[in-house]
Structures are given as C-alpha cells and as structure tokens.
Amino acid sequence: MWVIPGSEATSLLWEVGPGVRAGVSTRRGGASRPPFDTLNWSYAVGDDPQAVTENRRRVLAWAHAEPDQLVTAGQVHGAAVAVVGPEEAGRGPVAGVDGLLTAHPGTVVAVAVADCVPLLLAAPQAGWVGAIHAGWRGTAAKIGPQAVQRLFEQGVRPDQLWVGIGPSIGPCCYEVDEPVYTAISQALGSDRPLRPGRPGHWQLDLWLANQMALEAVGVPPSHIECLGWCTACRSDWFFSYRRDGPRSGRMGGWICLTSPTTSTAS
Ligand SMILES: [Zn+2]
C-alpha cells in the first residue's frame, strides 16, 4: 500500500509488511535551491553536492539507514541488473546497470527517476528486495520481468513477491512517436498501453505496460501495487524531465530489508 506520511514528507512510503522499508522520495522537505528545490536526490544534474548528501540523509532516515548503506545504479536505459551487498554500499553508482537486487538486510538499493518508472520489488519472507529504473527503453527491454526472473532463480516464489510501481509520467502526459510505439507493442505483443493521439503519436501508459510484462512472467496481479501519480501533472510533489527540462531534480526510489530482529519486534 502506498502511503503519504504528511504534507512535508520527504518520501512517499510503500508499505508491504514486516521486514521491508521502501518508498520514493518527493521534492519536499529538502535542502536544494531552485531549480532543484527542494529535495533533489541526484548528484548528476548539477545540484550542490552537499545539499544532495543532506537530502539523501533525510530520505534514508525513513529506512533507518545512513548514506553509507546506500547502493545506486549507473542507469544507462538498459536491462542489466546487478546483485549487490555491503561491499558496493556508500560508493559511486554501480556502472552499466538499471536495476539492483540485494539479500542483505541494511543495504538500501535505489534508483533515480524523474518521469521514468521506479519499480520496487519486495520478497521479505524469501529475503530479497530490488529497485529498478524503467523508462520506455527499459520497459521495452523488459528489465522488470528480467529482475523478477532473477529472483525466481534464487528460489523466490511468485506468491512471496510484491511489486510497487511508483510515480512516473502518466498516460495523461506521455506522448510518444512511432519508434516507441513499435518497441513497446513488439515487446508486449500488444498495443494495449498505447492510446492513439495526434497523427503519428500515442499516449503511453508505462504503468500498464510494466504491469502486463510482470504478470506475463508470473507475478500475481493482486501483488502489483501502482501508485498512479503522474510526475508531470504533480509539480507540487515531483520533478519531471518532460515538464522542467534537463535542469531539474530527481526522485529516489529506495528499498531495503530490515534486520530479522527489528522486523519481528512487536
Ligand atoms: Zn500527467
């Protein structure tokens, strides 16, 4: 279940039961100046690094974690996924990947987004979590389903797995052209997430596209929880690349396993 923990909350929370903390940061309650106001998650957009470090510290407080427990992804709009742990934490992004999986309690995995979809994977009983960055390219390359299949190979059962689809550009605002139409409809074997718009253009529903691809590899439909908030519509909560251009902030989609002792405490 997606939860908004207050009007100045630095993060939305995805509550998926004991053993996991997860969410997607907002633009509220941070230390950055315009155009990165106020909570920008990314060091890669030209913001003051000290402000970003402070912003991350505030967001990670929701995970009961510090920035040196965080692993981030290099993000190249591909479909590569890495399994990570404490060795990768507190360093630079893991190069060449758009998804991170971990089985280590206390290691926070996160992706940066501002229109692309943050997919959060949680299988607390099986001891796995993941964070995936899926724009149209990643969606067409099926990065979500590939990450899920990695978890199934590790022994995670479909009924143990939950997927949170965080805020991204919505079908209301995401107009695409023919190359994107072709890539998405070929990947899914269906053009259901593409509604015809202006001549030669379509409105793409990335939430539905990812949902369909995840269900196709066996994720139970009732285990996929989509927030349904559009980053381009909601300038009060989110940055949007399409709306604001390259000099805008990013949100962080983050997730971690808590230690077994804290998760079972009453
Ligand atoms: Zn919209």
Over the stretch 128-166, which tens digit does the pLDDT of each residue have? 999 999 999 999 999 999 999 999 999 999 999 999 999
Give 95's pLDDT tier (boundaries 50, 70, 90).
very high
Percent of the chain with pLDDT over 70: 97
pLDDT of residue 246: 86
Q: How far, in Å, from the CA of 71 to the mean position of ligand 1?
A: 30
Instruction: Give the Cβ contact number of residue 33 at 10 Å.
Output: 12
pLDDT of residue 261: 52
Mean pLDDT, residues 74-96 taken together: 97
Residue 36: φ, ψ to 5°: -100, 20
> Which protein residues have their CB within 5 A of the ion that is ligand 1?
170, 172-173, 230, 232-233
Query: What pLDDT digit, counting tens, does each position of 7-61 carry?
Result: 999 999 999 999 999 999 999 999 999 999 999 999 999 999 999 999 999 999 9
Q: How far, in Å, from the CA of 128 to the mean position of ligand 1?
A: 32
Q: How far, in Å, from the CA of 171 to the mean position of ligand 1?
A: 7
Q: How far, in Å, from the CA of 235 to the mean position of ligand 1?
A: 10
Q: Is the pTM of the predicted complex or chain greater than 0.85?
A: yes
Q: How far, in Å, from the CA of 107 to the mean position of ligand 1?
A: 33
Percent of the chain with pLDDT over 90: 96
The partner residues of 122 in beta bridges, in order of sequence, read: 129, 162
Q: How far, in Å, from the CA of 22 to the mean position of ligand 1?
A: 24
Structural domains in the chain?
A: 2-169+219-259 (3.60.140.10)
Please name the residues in contact with 26: beta carbons below 8 A apart, sequence gap of 6 or more: 9, 10, 11, 12, 39, 237, 238, 251
Q: How far, in Å, from the CA of 237 to the mean position of ligand 1?
A: 13
Q: How far, in Å, from the CA of 173 to the mean position of ligand 1?
A: 4
Give the C-alpha separation, 82 to 99, whole Å.
Answer: 6
Residue 222: φ, ψ to 5°: -75, -10
Q: How far, in Å, from the CA of 252 to the mean position of ligand 1?
A: 19
3-state secondary structure of 208: helix
What amino acid occupies position 163? V
Q: How far, in Å, from the CA of 221 to the mean position of ligand 1?
A: 24
Q: How far, in Å, from the CA of 231 to the mean position of ligand 1?
A: 7
Query: What pLDDT digit, counting tens, does each position of 162-211 carry?
Result: 999 999 999 999 999 999 999 999 999 999 999 999 999 999 999 999 99
Scored b (16 or more CB within 10 A) or e, 219-258 reads: beeebbbbbebbbbbbeebbbbbebbeeebbbbbbbbbbb
What amino acid occupies position 223? H
Long-range contacts, stretch 78-87, CB < 8 angstroms, 24+ apart:
78/137, 78/138, 78/141, 78/143, 79/138, 79/141, 79/142, 79/143, 79/146, 81/130, 81/132, 81/143, 81/146, 81/147, 81/150, 83/150, 84/109
pLDDT of residue 259: 75
Q: How far, in Å, from the CA of 207 to the mean position of ligand 1?
A: 12
Please name the residues in contact with 30: beta carbons below 8 A apart, sequence gap of 6 or more: 10, 37, 38, 39, 40, 51, 54, 55, 58
Query: What pLDDT digit, counting tens, does each position of 218-266 carry?
Result: 999 999 999 999 999 999 999 999 999 989 999 999 999 997 654 444 4
